[in-house]
Amino acid sequence: MAEDATTALFFELFSGLPQQGPGDAASTIRALSLVPDVGPETRILDIGCGTGRQTRVLAQNTRARIIAIDIHPPFVDELNRETRRIGLTERVTARVADMQGLDFPNASFDLIWCEGAIYIAGVEAALRDWRRLLANDGHVAFTEVCWTKPDPPPECVSFWEQEYPAIRDEAALLTAIAACGYETVGHFMLSRAAWWDDYYRPLEQNVTAFPARHRGRVEAEELADQCRREIDVWKAYSDYYSYGFFVARAR
């Protein structure tokens, strides 16, 4: 899992942030409240955990045991350090792993959590692939970008066509979840604050500082431009899209 130079730049741009994607404690807790009977016996797998913003919320609002996985070792190290610092190591472990090749035995978990990362495998591929990891009546909770209003302006459409052509509306995602063998038990959209306060606002500061550190490196400038464009598109058109939080039970 060695990182190439561009990937290393990408992770540098996203380092030092309180979280690596849209989300907040309120939405994690709201989604958790949709999952029945989470107790000390519940086994949670947090996929694409980053530095663990949602992992800590899950740990602090349940008595469940949690394994958190991410492909980027420094994020995993940071989460394990923080877990030690706040005294959660008995119930929370972070490991380096690839979400597209998880080798846990069947039925290892009661709840799979994935904030801001399911797009990496693709919703359908991930839901089908992860299904075997869930015990009977297991649940999955994930966030995924969705259109929230019809007829988004052309500039917004062209940004998403380029960045993530799989973007759909909520109804299409609900259909996809059902087609993958799950029953949705609840869903809602993230607030604007969940995108801005602890994600785009600090990321915008990183984006400003980043090219100066890598003067003359075209990939760094391109990466910063791409990130700046993503934030600008969100500032202009966030009425048209957000992250949906979906909680579903495996049938």
Ligand X SMILES: C[S@@+](CC[C@H](N)C(=O)[O-])C[C@H]1O[C@@H](n2cnc3c(N)ncnc32)[C@H](O)[C@@H]1O
Task: Please give the size of the binding site for ligand X, defined by CB under 6 A.
Answer: 21
In the complex, which residue's CB is closest to ligand X? 50
Binding pattern for the stretch 37-56 against ligand X, x by CB under 6 A and - elsewhere: -----------xxx--xx--
d(CA 130, CA 234): 31
Q: How far apart are the first and last CA of the chain?
A: 34
Residue closer to ligand X by CB (options 21, 211) is 21
The DSSP annotation for 147-174 comes to E-SSS--HHHHHHHHHH-TT-EEHHHHH
Taking CB under 6 A as the criterion, the residue among 10, 75, 159, 246 binding ligand X is: 75
Q: How far is CA 179 from the centre of its chain?
A: 22
Counting contacts by CB under 6 A, is residue 100 touching ligand X?
yes
In the list 24, 110, 115, 144, the residue contacting ligand X (rule: CB under 6 A) is 115
Measured from the CB atom, the residue of 93 and 150 that comes closer to ligand X is 93
Q: How far apart are CA 236 and CA 180, in angstroms?
A: 34
Q: Do residues 53 and 18 make contact, with C-beta atoms less than 8 angstroms apart?
A: yes
Neighbours of 5 (CB within 10 A): 10
Of 32 and 69, CB closest to ligand X: 69
Near ligand X by CB under 6 A: residue from 44, 117, 180, 203: 117
The residues of the shown chain that bind ligand X, judged by CB under 6 A, are: 19-21, 23, 48-50, 53-54, 69-72, 75, 98-100, 115-117, 120
